[in-house]
Structure 1
Amino acid sequence: MILWSWGANSHGQLGLNVANEQVEKPTSVNIELYNNKIRQIACGGGHTLLVDSEGKLFSCGWNNSLQLATEQEVHCFERTWRLSGINFTHIACGWDSSCGITDDQFLFVWGSNSYGQLGLPQNDFPKNVKPIRLQVKACAVSMGLRHTAIINFKDEVWVTGCGRHGQLGLGKEQLSADRFSKVPKLGKISHIACGQRHTVAWSSEENALYVWGDNRHGQLLLDTQKYPKAYTPQKIDIDIKQKVKKLLTGWSNILLWLEDGTLIAWGCNIYAQLGTQQTSFSGSRTHIKLPDGRQVKDIALGSEHTICLATDNTLWAWGWNEHLNTGIKSADEEKYIGKPTLVPLEINSNSIITQIYCGGAQNFIVTEEKGDSDPVL
């Protein structure tokens, strides 16, 4: 197994043991996992968390708010010893905050609590927080710029943090929270995703989308004049009758990956993050298609760019490219890649890409030799 990274690296968030402006192409990362595999990677504004197949946590990058759960910034992946002995099954990053769900379904939080995004009372935990286990159980979690949302085992959504743009969904009267609060007017939720200043949720039971928060770029699929912001959840029937494999959001764009492989995207397209060069296009839904009829194996969104793995083991990218975070050099040095474009990879011909991750402006992929790609449990 080999881990590769590229993109923005000003705080060493790529784990390459160096901090620099950017890494232009996929570069192998030196990390010792003692024969374990990678379970998940999560990316924040300038930091990265990694969990191996045994639930052990590693971190690197920016640490101004203790978001690494270590004492100092590190530029290569190091074991997070403060959280040793804890088996994490899922992790998430905000801009400068972090959290993880354990195998007994409790939520640990650490990093910045400046907006209450850790669900801790700000009078007692005003800023930077070392890891704390909350008396909160969760089966899914997502972190936005300054807010956090979880799904509990009743399929309810609970939120905390900044809500000035309505991203908490708690109404105009509650624009902030420093404890997890239940979001009203929702059905049973199966998927949750926090953007920069909005939140989206999917109900598999109803085949319906729920949206709330900032709608400046039409990311809520609501009329931007009537709903510049939505302070409570709005239910939208987008006429999808099949299973949703992933619900993803960047800063202000949203993507649905459906069971039949369809990619549906909407919202902001200033940097062609919707996979179309019509950068003025926003609000309405668009279908993203890979060239030559390729099918999607996996997809990941950064703040304003996307990477997509095709079933033929090719990697594609589009969107914001200021830090070469797509891994593609454009001839005219534009700050975006306007449509799905092949990412050049210098990997062994006998290798297959098994996992992809991105967030902010950094990316990670995992490759394995053919025949050695057993699924991570």
Structure 2
Amino acid sequence: MWCWGANSHGQLGVNLISEQVEKPIKVSTECDCSLKQLACGGGHSLLLDAEGKLFSCGWNSRKQLGYENESQIFQRVWSLSGINFTTVACGWDFSCGVTDDHFLFVWGSNSHGQLGLPKNHFPEEVNPTRLHVNACSVSMGLRHTAIINSKGEVWVTGCGRHGQLGLGHDVLQSDRFQKIPSLTNISHIACGQNHTVAWCNGEKALYVWGDNRHQQLLLMSDKYKHIFKPEKIDIDVKQNVKKLISGWTHFLLWLEDGTLLTWGKNNCGQLGNINHHSGKIFHVTLPDNRRVEDIAIGSEHTLCLADDNTLWAWGWNEHANTGTDIKENFVYLPTRVLLENPTNITNIFAGGAHNFVITDADMSNDNISSENKEKS
């Protein structure tokens, strides 16, 4: 496992705190089996291994690590030992995990009810707690959470001041999960900073709600600054979606045929082009007709694995987020993150301003660089 980017809270798990790690370095963990997933929050990281065991490191101001002390290395979350997680997710300073029997565990900040726990009965900083809700997938934003249950229903909790709960003008905050009645058979959900989007593979339909000040919901911002109930948007996609993911103010839609669509704010190059017009969908293309093998998104940057095992990045670069040698704060075009002695990359993950890459063979630190030799 390799990492780079922001490390001001030790969220890279390399046993040091620094403003940033500019080039990929190896991460050592206590994990004794293969890695399944990483989730990255504002300044913390969760690691899930193939056996469903959970580890965490980084910022712990609100108990988002699942234990008491801050850690600069991945430590086992022992309070959740014996529980088999299938997926994990992070918000800004809160966390969750879905178990193999579709229960949801939550911990960290509940300042806005984003954990779905009644504020009258729980503190603002919560130790790992199991909720009596059914969850198959989950996404967390800045201060809200959305889940899809086994029926394809969407349930939300937390801050709704910008409409991100989708429950109407009258529900601007909730400390319990509530069902959005208008949504059914939803297959994908993604929370941004103050917005939420959903996709239905059955309908081939996109639903959007929340903050639209940057036209990230594909509606005119002068007329629709905030959307308080889900709006169905026709984006003329007639196929299933592999991934729907969101940054703070932009989206990526990875389609079944490999097409990558993006829209929203582009002040940092997060759309992979130099166009500054919001409210329009763009195609992201990799050089030399490469196809997308996997895609991950941080708050304002993107990490992309191509089908020839090359790694590409673009967007916000203030903390060396992209892993390239470009010194500017913004990388506007897909730019190669070069591994001098490449090995097979199996998974990529990105968070607020940091990244993790999983490979199936070892590499020495001497063999890693991020020379910017190829650009789109």
TM-score range, shorter chain: over 0.9
- Structure 2, gaps ≥5 residues long: 363-376
Say which of 175, 184, 187 aligns to 1:187. 184
Q: Structure 2: which amino acid aligns with 1:5?
A: C
For 2:121 and 2:19, the matched residues in 1 are separated by 36
Q: Structure 2: which amino acid aligns with 1:12?
A: G
Alignment match, 1:288: 284
Aligned: 1:338 with 2:332 = yes
Q: Structure 2: which amino acid aligns with 1:18?
A: L
Aligned: 1:4 with 2:6 = no
**Per-residue deviation, residues 168-215 of structure 1 (Å, max 9, x unmatched):** 000000100000000122231000000000000000010000000000
For 2:184 and 2:204, the matched residues in 1 are separated by 10
Q: Structure 1: which amino acid aligns with 2:134?
A: K
For 1:329 and 1:353, the matched residues in 2 are separated by 20
Aligned partners of 1:169 and 1:230 also within 8 Å? yes
Q: Secondary structure at the match of 2:344?
A: strand
Aligned partners of 1:106 and 1:135 also within 8 Å? yes
Alignment match, 1:175: 172
Say which of 213, 224, 235 aligns to 2:210. 213
For 2:145 and 2:344, the matched residues in 1 are separated by 34
Q: TM-score, normalised by structure 1?
A: 0.95
**Per-residue deviation, residues 243-265 of structure 1 (Å, max 9, x unmatched):** 10000100000110011110000
Say which of 27, 30, 39 aligns to 2:28. 30
**Percent sequence identity over matched residues?**
65
Q: What is the deviation of 1:296? A: 0.7
Q: TM-score, normalised by structure 2?
A: 0.95
Aligned partners of 2:154 and 2:184 also within 8 Å? no
Q: What is the deviation of 1:274? A: 0.2
Aligned partners of 1:295 and 1:311 also within 8 Å? yes
**Greater mean alpha carbon deviation, residues 173-182 or residues 24-33:** 24-33
For 1:359 and 1:282, the matched residues in 2 are separated by 23
Alignment match, 1:364: 356
Q: Secondary structure at the match of 2:79?
A: helix
Aligned: 1:62 with 2:59 = yes
**Per-residue deviation, residues 131-180 of structure 1 (Å, max 9, x unmatched):** 00000110000000000000011100000000000000000001000000
Aligned: 1:105 with 2:105 = no
For 1:98 and 1:369, the matched residues in 2 are separated by 30
Q: Structure 2: which amino acid aligns with 1:334?
A: E
Alignment match, 1:268: 265
Aligned partners of 1:26 and 1:345 also within 8 Å? no
Aligned: 1:319 with 2:311 = no
Q: What is the deviation of 1:281? A: 2.1
For 1:18 and 1:122, the matched residues in 2 are separated by 35
Q: Structure 2: which amino acid aligns with 1:326?
A: T
Q: What is the deviation of 1:32? A: 2.8
Runs of 4+ in 1 over 2 A off after TM superposition: none
CA RMSD of aligned residues (A): 1.0
For 2:23 and 2:220, the matched residues in 1 are separated by 40
For 2:170 and 2:132, the matched residues in 1 are separated by 26
Aligned partners of 1:198 and 1:214 also within 8 Å? yes
For 2:31 and 2:76, the matched residues in 1 are separated by 9
Say which of 275, 291, 297 aligns to 2:293. 297
Aligned: 1:352 with 2:349 = no
Alignment match, 2:374: none
Alignment match, 2:46: 49
For 1:29 and 1:125, the matched residues in 2 are separated by 35
Say which of 4, 17, 20 aligns to 1:19. 17
Aligned partners of 1:307 and 1:358 also within 8 Å? yes
For 2:176 and 2:236, the matched residues in 1 are separated by 35
Q: Secondary structure at the match of 2:106?
A: strand
For 1:43 and 1:369, the matched residues in 2 are separated by 23
